[in-house]
Amino acid sequence: MKRGALGSPQSSHFSSETSSSADSAPLNTPKPSLSKVSLAPPSPLKDKSFAPEVSMLVSMSDTFGGVDEDEEEAGGERVHQVTSESIVYPAVQIVKSGSHAQRYPVWVTEAVAPLAEFIEDVDPQEQFADLQEIAEGESGSVYAARVVCPPTAIGLPAGTSHVAIKSIPVPPSSSSPGSVKIQDLAHEMRLLKEVRHEHVLTMDAIYVDLVDDSVWIRMEHMERSLADVIGLVSEGLSLQERMIARFASDVLMALEYLQKQHIAHRDVRSDNLLLNANGIVKLADFSNAIRVSRNAPMCTGVVGVIYWQAPEMRAGSYNALKVDVWSLGATVWELAQTEPPFADVQDSRQIGSQWPPLRHPELYSKGFHEFLKLCSRPSSSRPNPNELLNTPFIRNACGRPVNIQLLSQCRAIEEHVMQRESAADS
């Protein structure tokens, strides 16, 4: 995944909150093609250097997975990879046909066959409109899309105005490189089929778009990633210790749930931790995740990004269910320092098994320092997520409204920076 996040332009058009009836009314225009849709203009923040490699607003990350990996895992199974008021919606009939051959061309049917059990047999362009690109990655682009059918008819909460849609081109043949992404997506869908948790971002539905011959993956639309938040610190945003504790608490609850399912994420970092409009952090991108057995949690395979990577992953076989806690600790370190541990190290062999000291340790509480020490313990003595939830640092977390206020501050700062950049260019 490229460094960056599924960010969100500051306009309320991209909010997951209820839109006005004018915004939500169905369009009477021809169905848009993804290749012809009017996308949001490139953000002037896109090329600005905030934190290392962070891109703002129009993000370059592939937050929802799809990274190609060739590794084989021992002892584990690879998981490849977010108020409508009195509005009269067009009639939409949701049909699960069980056979897609009657509707799709033969080559499309064959190409998406691994996903057959998950595909909603409807035209997605009758349900979503006004697609605007908000993220771009190696396996496809992610769009903010307006819901133009009754949300509850497609399994969305009442009042949902926007969703995120990831578009992956349908491969022309089973031997083309794109077919691997379809296989990976099917594998992830099967293994995460029963995963439902407030702090885990899952794929809600799969569609086939015959206009552009692409697979659409529907997810909750998120406001921004923690990487985006970190990128605004240089512009005056303040990240307090209690805010960091709230972020960490949300992630720990996600990890606690996943470990009960014997799933290790193995790529916990700020890019993959997304905030929604309610200030809730969700863990995203399971392209490097694996499911292990209760009695055999050991696996091999170096995945993820080295700055957040548990040191035992580079030393051979390791306990998959222990590495995510280390990665969370590295993310907490990053939130305090605005860059990941060892970001200035040129030779990866110089990355040690302990994080560098904080630049201003006196600014943080004893509980904060103790939390980092616990996360960086050797695998055999590293605490589980449920144990870390009871630490003083986590118990002192701020309330949820503080996160919502933080999102408002992010939007205000972004608007100010855009105005400044625009003035400088004029």
Q: Are 65 and 285 in contact (CB under 8 A)?
A: yes
Beta strands in 327-376 (DSSP E): none
257-294 pLDDT tens trace: 999 999 999 999 999 999 999 999 999 988 889 999 98
Q: How many alpha carbons fall within 13 Å on the CB side of residue 128?
A: 29
Q: How many alpha carbons fall within 13 Å on the CB side of residue 422?
A: 9
Angstrom CA distances, 36 to 39, 131, 196, 287, stand at: 9, 10, 35, 29
**DSSP alpha helices (H): ranges in 173-313?**
178-191, 226-231, 241-260
Residues in the chain: 426
123-164 pLDDT tens trace: 999 999 999 998 876 677 899 999 999 999 999 999 999 999
For the chain, domains (ranges, CATH) are 12-219 (3.30.200.20), 224-408 (1.10.510.10)
Q: How many alpha carbons fall within 13 Å on the CB side of residue 286?
A: 31
pTM of the model: 0.76
Q: How far apart are CA 204 and CA 189, in angstroms?
A: 10
Per-residue pLDDT of the chain (426 residues; tens, 9 = 90+): 444 333 333 333 233 333 333 333 333 333 333 433 333 333 333 343 333 333 323 333 344 333 333 334 444 444 433 333 334 434 333 344 444 444 778 888 888 888 989 999 889 999 999 999 988 766 778 999 999 999 999 999 999 999 999 999 988 866 666 688 888 888 888 878 889 999 999 889 999 999 889 999 999 999 999 999 999 999 999 999 999 999 999 999 999 999 999 999 999 999 999 999 999 999 998 888 999 998 899 999 899 999 999 999 999 999 999 999 999 999 999 999 999 999 988 888 889 889 999 999 999 999 999 999 999 999 999 999 999 999 999 999 999 999 999 999 999 999 999 999 888 887
Helix (H) or strand (E) holding 415: helix 400-425
Listed residue (265, 312, 268) closest to 290, CA to CA: 265
b or e along 82-96 (b: 16 or more beta carbons within 10 Å of the residue's beta carbon)?
bebeeeebeeeeeee
Q: How far apart are CA 2 and CA 103, in angstroms?
A: 36
Q: Give the torsion sign (CA, 153, 158, 161, 163).
A: negative
**DSSP alpha helices (H): ranges in 32-151?**
106-111
